[in-house]
Chain A
C-alpha cells in the first residue's frame, strides 16, 4: 500500500531522484563535526518557526493585550512556559551557533572564490537574525523589552537626515503605542521570516553548488579520495548535533522554567534596562563614547563590523588555504569576536558588581512575580499595569482615598480630622494613645474627650500597652508583660470606662474587646456609633450602609496590616 502511494508520488514528482541527489551529495574530504553548524542553524530556524507559530496562536499585538497574553502563555496555557522558553532560548542558541558557523567558515576560508556570494548572503542573514532578536524583545510589552527597545529606536532616530522619519515609520508614530507593536509584530512574523527563508534557500543552493570548504590540511588528491556522500556519515553528525543543541536548550528552559517576563511596561517608572545578552557589547560601547560621540559610535561600530565581513572576500584573495597564511583576515574576524565578547563580559561584570543595579533587578523580579500572580485573576481590559488593580491592597487603598482620607491620614495622604492611622493598633500607636489620647494625631480634633493621660514608669506603660495590644488576638504577645498589664488596667481605673468583653456598652469609653482585630474593625466600620463603640459621641459615618461586605473587609485587612505581627 505504502509502496503504491510512493510509486504514485514518484511518478509525478520524481522525488526519489531528488532525495537521492540530496543524500548522495559528496562531502569533499569526508564528513566532519566542523560542518554541522549550518545544519544546526537550519534546524534552529525550523524550531523558531514552529514555536513562533504556536506562540502566535495565543498572542495579541496590542498595548492592552500583549503583556497579559504573554503572561497567559507563560502561566496558564499547558506547557506555554516551555514553548516560549524554547523560542527565547532558540534565539540565543541561534546567535551562538551563528557565531561558531562564521568562525568556522572564516578560518576555513569559505568566503573566498568561488563562494563569495554564499558568504555575503550569510552575512545578510546575520543581520536578519539580529533583527529578529530586536523586534521580538519588544513583543511581550514588559518593562525590559519596552525600555531596552526605546534605546534602539532612539538610536535610529538619531541617524542623520532620515533618522526622525525612519524612527516614526518604525514605531508607527512619534512615540510608542499600538502601532509600534503591530509594526514590530509584522516585521517579526512576516517580513523577517520571509526574507530569512528566501536567503536561506539561496545560501543552501549556493552551498550545494560549490560544496563545503574542505580542510586546508589535505591535498586535492587526498580530499577526493576521502570524499563521502552526505548520507549517512555527515547527516548522522548533523542530527546528533541538533539533538545535543535541543537537549541543552530543553535543560536550560526547564531549569529556569521558561523565559523571563518582567512586569508590564510602565512608561512612568524608572527602569534601568539591559538589552538581550548579544546586544550587550553595543550597550557597553555606548558607555565608552559619551556625549556627542555616542550616536556615531553606536551606528558606526555595527556598520564597521558588517563592512569588514562583507569586504573579506574581496580583500583576501591569496590562493593559500591555511589560516596561518591568511592571518590578517582571520585575525580581523577573531578581533571582532574577542572585542564583542570583551565588551559583553565587561558590561556583565559591572552589572554583577553594581549593588544598585542588583537591587533594582531584585525589585523588578519581585514586581514581575506579583504582576503575574495577579494576572491569573484575569487582567482588566485596559491591560498592562492595571493588573495591579487586582491586588486587594490596591483596592483597599483606593477605597481609603475615596472614603476615609477626608478625615484620616494613612501613608502620608489624607486630612487630620480624626486619628491618623499609620501603625494603627501597633505597640507604638497604643503607647502614643495612652500618653495623650487628645493629641491631634489621635482624638484631638474629634468630640471624643475625657481620657486621662496614663502616667507611670516606662515598665508600667509597656505592660499596659502589651495588654491592650493582646486584646486584638495578636500572636506575638509577651505573656508576662501582659499579665502585669491586666492588673494595671484595673488599678489605674481603665476598666472604669472600658469594658473588654466585646459585648457590653460604652461606659464613657469604647469596649476594647477584640480591639485591633480585623473582625472587630469590620463591626466598627459598619457602625461606629454602636453602643459598644463610640456610642453617642460618634461622628464617623456608618459604612455598613455605604460599602459592600467585601469592601469593608478589604479596608479592615489594610488597616490590620498597619499593626504588623501575626
Chain B
C-alpha cells in the first residue's frame, strides 16, 4: 500500500517531468534558414573568379525569439558558364574562415595554411577533405544557396545541426 502510493506519486510527477525536460530531443529549438536563400544575381557573377556572398536567413528561431535577417555565414560563389558552385567559407580542417588569394588564384586558410584549388581540392596543408560545397540552384536569375555546416576535421563530409 505504502509502496504503491509512492510509485503512483513518483509516476504522476516523473513522467511529465521527463517529457518536459526532454522537449529539445523532439523539437528543433534553434532553426530557420535551412531553405535555399538568394545570395546573388547570376548576371553579376564574373566568369571563373570566386566572389564572396553572405547568406542571410529571413528569420531565425531560437526557442522563443525570432530574429529577422540573420547572417548565417559566408560562401564563395564561382560561376562557370551558367553553372555556379558554392563553397562554404568554413575550413573543413578547424573551422577558420577560408579566404581567396587572387594573386595565387587559390583559396587559403590563414590558421593552419591549408590551400585549396578553384575546384576545391586540397593542394597543401592539413585539411582532411576538399572545401565543402553547398547545394546551389539558379531561379529567375538569382543564385540560391542552401546553407549548412559540416563536421570538422573528418575526411567524410557530414552535415551537422
Chain A interface residues toward B at CB < 8 A? 47, 50-51, 54, 57-58, 65, 68-69, 71-72, 76-80, 82-83, 231-232, 235-236, 239-240, 242-243, 246, 250, 375, 377-381, 383
Q: Which residue on B lies nearest to A242, using beta carbons?
A: B9
Dominant secondary structure at the A interface: helix
Residues of A within 8 A of B23 (CB): 77-78, 80
* The residue from B2, B63, B64 contacting A239, defined by CB atoms under 8 A apart: B2
Q: Give the shortest distance, in Å, between A549 (CB) and chain B (any CB).
A: 14
Binds A, one of B13-21, B100-108, B129-137, B153-161: B13-21
- Does B13 lie within 8 Å of A47, measured CB to CB? yes
Q: How far is the CB of A142 from chain B (nearest CB, A)?
A: 14
Which residues in A have their C-beta under 8 angstroms from that of B5?
A: 236, 239-240, 242-243
Given contacts A54-B17, A78-B19, contact A235 B2 (CB under 8 A): yes
Number of B interface residues, CB 8 Å?
24
Given contacts A236-B2, A242-B9, A246-B9, contact A82 B16 (CB under 8 A): yes
> Smallest Cβ distance from A136 to chain B, in angstroms?
18
| Beta-carbon contact of A71 and B20 below 8 Å | no
From B21, B26, B59, B65, name the one whose CB has the most chain A CB atoms within 10 angstroms: B65
Contact A80 B20 (CB under 8 A): yes
A68 touching B65, Cβ below 8 Å: yes
Neighbouring B residues of A231 by C-beta, 8 Å:
2
* Nearest CB in chain A to that of B32: its residue: A378
Residues of B within 8 A of A377 (CB): 66
Q: Which residue of A lies closest to B67 (CB)?
A: A381
Residues in B28-65 with C-beta less than 8 Å from chain A: 59, 61, 63-65
* C-alpha gap A127/B110 in the complex (Å): 61
Cα separation A75 to B97 with both chains bound (whole Å): 40
Some 19 contacts from A to B, beta carbons below 8 A apart, are A57-B21, A65-B65, A69-B63, A69-B64, A78-B20, A79-B19, A82-B16, A82-B20, A83-B17, A231-B2, A240-B5, A246-B12, A375-B64, A378-B59, A378-B61, A379-B66, A380-B66, A381-B65, A383-B65
Cα A238 to Cα B59 in complex, Å, equals 53
A38 to chain B, nearest CB (A): 17
Partner pick for B6 among A51, A77, A239, CB 8 A cutoff: A239
Cβ–Cβ contact B12 & A71, under 8 A: no
Query: Which residues does chain B contribute within 8 Å of A240, judged by CB atoms?
Result: 5
Q: List the B side residues contacting A242 at CB < 8 Å.
A: 5, 9
Contact A79 B66 (CB under 8 A): no
Residues of chain A within 8 A of B20, CB atoms compared: 54, 77-80, 82-83
Cβ–Cβ < 8 Å partners of B17 in chain A: 50-51, 54, 83
In the assembled complex, how far is the CB of residue A229 from the closest CB belonging to chain B, in whole angstroms? 13
